[in-house]
Amino acid sequence: MNITMMGNPISLCGKQLEVGDKFPEFVLCDNGLNPVKSEDLKGIRVFATVPSLDTGVCDMEIRNFNKKTAELNGVHIYAVSMDLPFAQARWCGAAGVKNVQTLSDYQTHDFGRKTGTLILGLELLTRAVFVVDANGVVKYVEYVKEVSSHPDYDKLYAELTKLL
């Protein structure tokens, strides 16, 4: 898959996931610097990887998810980036985001490598969305072709409602 950032090709580290794959085990960091392991997260989950919450498109994307969660009873949405947990907490407070949990991959890049979202050379995550069912199976995947573009919300929400 060819992915660009501001029109320039980027290279990703790791194998990209596909529908039907088992979602990989991982360890991330929450806003209190506590480890969050994949087995700690249950139910239907959406993982939205973004380069940085402090950018316009990322900010709008996570705000969109924050608003939409009210309609998605039982769905847990996680925004994953390389931002430091302190910056994530500050951003959530300033943006009024309470329904999306931010998690950081800054320590080990474990999540980025295992989901094929780590941008080589930049040590950021590309924009992608994964929907994982209660059994840990990937039900929807989108690696956004241009990092500065939004994911296809309509297609994502249509697939998500099939799981509810």
- Catalytic residues, by residue number, are 58
The two tokens of residue 40 are 């700690």
Mean pLDDT, range 72-77, rounded to an integer: 91
- The pLDDT mean for the chain works out to 95
What's the pLDDT tens digit per position in 1-58?
A: 789 999 999 999 999 999 999 999 999 999 999 999 999 999 999 999 999 999 999 9
pLDDT score for 148: 95
Question: What pLDDT band is residue 155 in, cutting at 50, 70 and 90?
Answer: very high
Closest CA to 6 of 124, 94, 112: 124
Percent of the chain whose pLDDT exceeds 70: 100
Query: Degrees (nearest 5) of the Cα angle 125, 87, 77?
Result: 60
Q: Which domains does the chain have, with CATH numbers?
A: 3-163 (3.40.30.10)
- How do 138-143 and 128-132 pair as beta strands? antiparallel
Mean pLDDT, range 149-154, rounded to an integer: 96
Half-sphere exposure of 137 (CA within 13 A, CB side): 5
